[in-house]
Structure 1
Amino acid sequence: MRIVLILEYDGSRYCGWQSQPEGCSIQDTLETALSEIAKEEIHVITAGRTDTGVHALYQVVHFDTSVQRPISAWVRGVNALLPNDIAILWAAETSDEFHARYNALERHYLYLLLNQPTRPGIHHSKVGWYHQPLELEKMQVAGSFLIGEHDFSSFRAAECQAKSPIRTITRLSITRHGNLLIFELRANAFLHHMVRNIIGCLVYIGKGKYSPEWMCELLKSCNRTYAAPTFSSAGLYLTGIRYDRRWYMPELAEAPIIPGISLSN
């Protein structure tokens, strides 16, 4: 039997999604709870691995099990065993043909960047921060150069395991809500650290270090050493995974809640 889950988590105190020998990951924590409910060892496959400190509002996983349990056991039962910063939102039995990773058509991310002179307090692990003024229009122009299919080698981490650096960005929007900049990115898939490296380069352009056209030069260079440092993970959220309608995956909210600010699409 194959079960599909949608979950959300606060990644602040975890060493990312992927299982680690120390057992400090989201995957380790989830598999421990699932195995307790199933009374057998459970291994999950995810739609996308998130880095240390990255949050998720809509993460998708699937797993196979030989046991019969009511769907409520995979939601309320597992949630009772999970820490408060990880929660199962939805579960269903699915076809053995469904694959959380390989059937995903598009991944959606949001990056929240607080742009003010002083660092955040309450939201220190929920938003990125940059102290100098950033010019929104220049970042918007630079971001437009990344839309479409490109070789994103200049924005991939050295340890990236993807076979190809070719990715297709379908949306890259930047808006300002007071002192909060909101970056929305959608692509068929992302390379390791790709979103955070793009944010770092956009910040360089926003503060005036480079012109928007520098983004085109980075793309053409296919050289990571020319780009900005990887930006903080604190403001990054996995907000959606899109599948073909035949898999009947529900649509859930795609915006983190920040007091006093509505981020609805």
Structure 2
Amino acid sequence: MPTFKLTIEYDGTDYHGWQVQPGMTTIQGTLQKAVKRIVGKGVHVMGAGRTDSGVHALGQVASLRAEFSHPPDILRRALTSVLPPDIVVTAVEEMDNDFHAQLWAKWKRYRYTILTRPYPSALERRYTLFVPYPLKIDAMADAAKTLIGTHDFSAFQAAGSSVKSSIRTVLVAELRQEGDHLLLEIVASGFLRHMIRIIMGTLLDVGRGRLRPEDLKAILEGKDRNNASKTISPHALCLLEVGYQPFTPHASRPHVLSQEVCFP
């Protein structure tokens, strides 16, 4: 039975995250129903990571095993024909039988997008967080550098998480202004539940002067969720890509890196 790797783009607005949940519309559940329509039997679709409710993706990756004897691109086209328009399979590849989208992943790249101007956007409201007040962006960028390296990120983990370890390795934590958009790009070996949203909320408090850049280091080392800022909205967060080779800064897809926000 062949194993396939799917690259998936989706608008997460109308979904309760990636993972199947009883009575809820999810990305994984919708994909599994689509695959069943094509191959005639239930198939488990394993994602590289579980995006939260409302989070989007340009490059989510999933794996599945199914009896499908046609070329992989036929599967991509078939999935496109049965999936709703806010989920698109952009590529399908046949892989070694032991390929596992989650276990083989070496890093993930996310982007959080802030709209920084005096008025909101009707077109970007699903994909950016509108912040009309002035921000100390240099201070935020300095604070973000504290995250790089291998640390215990307990302070930036949602309560009730069941993971065995809260130690993660952050490879990139870059904050930059592009026009009206303030972008946080973060690459890590893995992420804790709500980790990026808590980090971004804390960086915004640095930007507003409520915290100093050096306070982020103290919060990180303190390992106490109560010391970090609130968890901000998921709708401005996007999974850009998942890497299966060791991370190098120039290996990422140029068309992804050049996009300011997580929509065409």
TM-score where L is the length of structure 1 = 0.92
Q: Distance in 2 between matches of 1:128 and 1:262?
A: 12
Structure-2 change in CA distance of 1:36 and 1:262 (3 Å): closer
Other-structure match for 1:150: 151
**Contact persistence 1:128–1:233 (CA under 8 A):** no
Matched, 1:254 2:261: no
Kindly provide the amino acid, as one letter, of the partner of residue 132 in structure 2. H
Residue 199 of structure 1: SS of its match in structure 2? Answer: helix
Identity value in percent: 35
Structure-2 change in CA distance of 1:14 and 1:144 (3 Å): same
Aligned length: 257
- Cα deviation, 1:171-202, whole Å, max 9, x if unaligned, reads 01111123210111000101110011100000
Q: How does 1:164-243 map to 2 (within 5 A)?
A: 164-243=165-244
**Contact persistence 2:175–2:182 (CA under 8 A):** yes
Structure-2 change in CA distance of 1:256 and 1:14 (3 Å): farther
What CA RMSD, in Å, does the superposition of the two structures yield over aligned residues? 2.0
Kindly provide the amino acid, as one letter, of the partner of residue 254 in structure 1. V
Matched, 1:42 2:38: no
Deviation of the 1:252 alpha carbon: 7.4
Residue 38 of structure 2: SS of its match in structure 1? Answer: helix
Other-structure match for 2:20: 19
Q: Which segment is superposed worse, 63-72 or 12-21?
A: 63-72
**Contact persistence 2:112–2:184 (CA under 8 A):** yes
Deviation of the 1:244 alpha carbon: 2.6
**Contact persistence 1:57–1:256 (CA under 8 A):** no
Residue 216 of structure 1: SS of its match in structure 2? Answer: helix
Q: Distance in 2 between matches of 1:146 and 1:123?
A: 28
Structure-2 change in CA distance of 1:224 and 1:106 (3 Å): same
Q: Which segment is superposed worse, 65-74 or 157-166?
A: 65-74
Residue 24 of structure 1: SS of its match in structure 2? Answer: coil
Matched, 1:102 2:103: yes
Q: Which runs of 5+ in 1 are unaligned?
A: none
Q: Distance in 2 between matches of 1:14 and 1:149?
A: 32
Kindly provide the amino acid, as one letter, of the partner of residue 153 in structure 1. S
- Cα deviation, 1:207-264, whole Å, max 9, x if unaligned, reads 100110110110111011111110111111100111138xxxx957424845xx899x
List structure 1 runs of 4+ shifted beyond 6 angstroms. Answer: none
Other-structure match for 1:115: 116
Q: Distance in 1 between matches of 2:162 and 2:70?
A: 36
Q: Which segment is superposed worse, 156-165 or 66-75?
A: 66-75
TM-score where L is the length of structure 2 = 0.92
Deviation of the 1:160 alpha carbon: 2.2
Other-structure match for 1:70: 71
Q: Distance in 1 between matches of 2:234 and 2:262?
A: 22
